[in-house]
Chains A and B, each alone.
Chain A
Amino acid sequence: MADVSKEELLHIAKLANLNIKDEELDNYLNNLRDILNFANVVNNVNTEGLEETIGENDRCNVFRKDEVKVFEDNKALLQNAKEQERNMFKIPKVIQ
């Protein structure tokens, strides 16, 4: 039985940069507990001596030449930004 506390859920949400409203808390908590209980079946499997599979093919360290390619369409890149100034993304003040 995965027993996640409200505090733990709020901590996880904070790590994930998400807010959970008070009225949503129970629902998220129940869902998370249900899914973790289900996911727990992996702990019934004997995996002694088994390596972890990280990716789906055996290729690793795929190299290419480090060449500069200029993406010229600045306008296309910036068109999705909500705020921009002088060809730059604008964010709120970080240092007070």
Chain B
Amino acid sequence: MDITNLTVHELQEKLANHELTSEEITKAYVDRIKEKEADVRAFVTTLCDEALEKSKEIDDKRKKGEMKSSLAGIPIGIKDNICTKGIRTTCSSKMLADFISPYNATVTEKLLLEDLIDLGKLNMDEFAMGASTEYSYFKKTSNPWNLKCVPGGSSGGSAAAVAAELVPWALGSDTGGSIRQPASFCGVVGLKPTYGLVSRYGLVAFASSLDQIGPITKDVTDAAILLNIIAGHDEKDTTSSDIPKKDYTKALKNDVKGLKIGIPKEYFGEGINEEVKQKLEEAIETYKKLGAEVEEFSLDIANYALATYYIIACAEASSNLGRFDGIRYGYRTENFTNLKELYRNSRSEGFGAEVKRRIILGTYVLSSGYYDAYYKKAQQVRTLVKKEFDKAFEKYDVLLTPTSPTVAFEMGTRAENPLEMYLADICTVSVNIAGLPGISIPCGVNSENMPIGMQLIGNKFEEEKILNAAYTFEQEFRFREKYKPGFEK
């Protein structure tokens, strides 16, 4: 049995039938990490020994009937901006290179309540700022479909680890596309939940009004299972929504008859790669064949949504990252004679170039004289973006777009040009601006066997609709059976 090829729901079944033990599953992943991590470089921290030990404990408890969760003993990977008590949480930054969180994020607590096993902390762009994971202070992660290419970002470690079967599933975070775009680049499923559905307590803040934690998985069923675990109100996050708990797996009906799908035509225009467009058009045909009602419409927000996003995200980041001063935790310079110098030198030496760029941009748009022209204006445009989506959801259940205008690009081709890197987010940012849920699922590969992602966007708290639409396509298209990452050859 090829254990690491199984989905989590398959592992769950095999644990229940006593076909596999947690130790066997964990061992298979540990072996796989030992064999393949050198190629992929997805982890900042691996916890192989700890994971194996924990798996034995869980097997013992399961034998005695002491395990209540049917997922107990299944490993998981966690993006390295989500706090894990006693384990390094670095945000892939020199600033937090040896930071050990004194507490767990709420989502980490929820994983532990299910007795999931933490296999390690996954690489990312520093402070989640980037679209290629090249801005990590520690290492550049490779795309398992072509090791010369980026895995996307900022949750590039999470997506690459799932695609390379180094973890069965993972948590990522998404501020402007950081779950969906790497999922698209790596041929896996990535779900960004509605703002407020998942607690942000213990997620190192980048842009607080946009950030959400979500699943990166092999298939849609696994995404629904992981969302079941992490969703829910948390009094430690005042922006967390108090909505009733749902079982998202019940939404997976394999039926889209009568589902109204809107296709915003602006997302298929200039700048979208021809092969990407072609696969998306084929996916649209598949939905029509399955009985969905598909209609093109105009949602002319893509260009100014991206500008709005970078203004708001950087403004919030400049404020959020003000806390890193070298005193209580984080990098401290050795070169200072007074307190002011300690702050400035610690920050200047501890942050990478992209983080500094964004702090400077954020400080600029918030500074007196520019506040009205940029920040205030962007917040008004944000209202407009929300209104445009509201209008769209009066007519449609789900919107369908490419996740990214291109497939994964080669390492080193965009890292020096920030603006070009920002364009990688053009299809995803408006979802964060409006606080909506969005999912990326693979819908084919290009002529070079690089995966292409399709994004389905839902109205607020209507995760069920996009999950069902994604699941129905997945069951018909069967991407995982047809295509495999090329890195093992």
Contacts and interface: CB of A to CB of B under 8 A. Distances in A.
A52 B376 contact: yes
A45 B304 contact: yes
A9 to B, nearest CB: 7
A12 B364 contact: yes
B238 A50 contact: no
Contacts of B449: none
B383 A50 contact: yes
Interface stretch (B164-172, B249-257, B327-335): B327-335
Contacts of A17: 322, 325, 343-344, 347
B196 A57 contact: yes
Contacts of A70: none
Interface in B268-307: 303-304, 306-307
B244 interface: no
Interface string B329-359: 1101000111100111101100100001101
B140 interface: no
A42 B304 contact: yes
B172 to A, nearest CB: 18
Nearest to B416: A27
Interface centre among A28, A31, A32, A93, by most B CB within 10 Å? Answer: A31
B100 interface: yes
Interface residues of B, number: 67
Given A17-B347, A52-B383, A92-B339, A57 B99 contact: no
Interface string B57-83: 000000000000000000000000000
Contacts, number: 159
A42 B360 contact: no
Contact of A59 (B238, B338, B343, B364): B238
Contact of A18 (B195, B310, B338, B359): B359
Contacts of A50: 380-381, 383-384
A41 B378 CA distance: 10
B304 A44 contact: yes
Contacts of B196: 56-57, 59
A57 B195 contact: yes
Contact of B348 (A15, A18, A92): A18
A38 B327 contact: no
Interface string B89-118: 000000000111011000000000000000
Nearest to B196: A57
A51 B380 contact: yes
A89 B327 contact: yes
B102 A42 contact: no
A35 interface: yes
Contacts of A9: 360
Nearest to B314: A35
A57 B100 contact: no
Given A39-B307, A56-B196, A82-B332, A64 B364 contact: no
A59 B241 CA distance: 8
B338 to A, nearest CB: 6
Interface in A38-96: 38-45, 47, 50-57, 59, 62, 64, 71, 73, 76-77, 79-83, 89, 91-94
B419 interface: yes
B364 A56 contact: no
Contacts of B338: 92-93
A77 B102 CA distance: 6
Interface in B10-37: none
A79 B356 contact: no
A70 B326 CA distance: 25
A79 B383 contact: no
B99 A43 contact: no
B367 interface: yes
A86 to B, nearest CB: 15
B323 to A, nearest CB: 11
A20 to B, nearest CB: 8
A34 interface: yes
A51 B383 contact: yes
Contacts of A73: 102
Contact of A42 (B241, B330, B359, B374): B374
B239 interface: yes
A69 B365 CA distance: 38
23 contacts: A16-B318, A16-B360, A17-B343, A31-B418, A34-B419, A35-B357, A36-B361, A38-B307, A43-B373, A47-B380, A47-B383, A47-B384, A50-B383, A52-B379, A55-B209, A56-B209, A59-B196, A59-B238, A59-B239, A76-B85, A81-B329, A89-B327, A92-B338
Given A59-B239, A62-B239, 16 more contacts: A17-B347, A18-B347, A19-B345, A32-B360, A32-B364, A35-B422, A44-B304, A45-B384, A47-B384, A55-B239, A56-B195, A59-B238, A77-B102, A80-B100, A80-B102, A81-B329
